[in-house]
Amino acid sequence: MKYKIIADSCCDLNEKLKKRLNIGLVPLNIHIGSKSYKDDEKLDTKMLLNHMENSTESPKTASPSPNNFMEAYKNSDNIFVVTLSSKLSGTYNSAMMAKEMLKEEIGNKFIHVFDSLSASIGETLVGMKISELINKGCDNLSIVDKTNAYIKEMKTLFVLDSLDNLVKAGRLNALKGKIASMFSIKPIMSDNGEGEISVLEKVRGSKKALRRLVDLIGEHGERFEEKILGIAHCNCLEKALQFREEVRKKYKFKDIIIVETAGISTVYANDGGLIIAF
């Protein structure tokens, strides 16, 4: 049987994973003022970071159209789609609309769209789980059931180094943002289990925030020897490598992968941000 895994461009991959998983990515778009960026392999994230830093306007993101997903659905018999949390983006709805449109056009075809309830490296881990189940020879319905169970158990955490985008977007009062920056307050964010993001803790200083992030893994997870830890970094590879080493001292994960954020995740995490999922 011919299988295809498709994700939106918030699914962050490194070169090794791109070759191994062969995930087709459907790009979102990023708008900063009058300038637009397509979140594909041509996007220069360093340029994007520079534009965000020097712009007074908040970056905005736009979901792919259903037609974009329809194109990606062609030429495969069995398709599994992974999207950003439906609470964060309209991408899931576009993917579902494309599924119904294609069904009307060509008839029955197996397409299942997973709401990852996450973003970035969380989507990556979901894609890896689907690939693992395909390689094990699981049937389609079993893949759906096991992947949904994986999504339900998965935890996503991230720490922000810069609050600029939150202030520009009006999600954080400018004065409070300035005070937080002055005192080096680093918010640790978490999914709430339903695909929404909430502030878990506020920690003073980057080093303390990373140490706390290591501790939170133990507070929110178990059976680490059966799991993969995913780390996505926004322009801070050294920080990601250091974090990985601290995690290895405390937990016995089956594997730890590191990827760099692409465009959409770069907008969310901003310069120096770290996103983890397990």
Question: For residue range 2-17, what is the model confidence (pLDDT) as tens digits?
Answer: 899 999 999 999 999 9
Cβ contact 126:147 at 8 Å: yes
Cβ contact 70:43 at 8 Å: no
Given a cut of 50, is residue 73 above it in pLDDT?
yes
Class of domain 156-277: alpha beta
CATH T-level fold of 3-152: Rossmann fold (3.40.50)
Given a cut of 90, is residue 180 above it in pLDDT?
no
The end-to-end CA distance of the chain, in Å, is: 30
State pLDDT tens for residues 204-225.
999 999 999 999 999 999 999 9
State pLDDT tens for residues 212-258.
999 999 999 999 999 999 999 999 999 999 999 999 999 999 999 99
What's the pTM value of the predicted model, to 2 decimals?
0.93
Q: What are phi and psi of 191, to 5 degrees?
A: -75, 155
Q: What number of other Cβ atoms are within 10 A of residue 120's Cβ?
A: 30
Contacts of 24 (CB under 8 A, 6+ apart): 4, 5, 6, 7, 72
Domain range summary for the chain, segments of one domain joined by + = 3-152, 156-277
Give me the mean pLDDT over the 69-90 stretch.
94
Confidence of residue 170 (pLDDT cuts 50, 70, 90): low
Using CA atoms, how far apart are residues 89 and 49, in angstroms rounded to an integer? 21
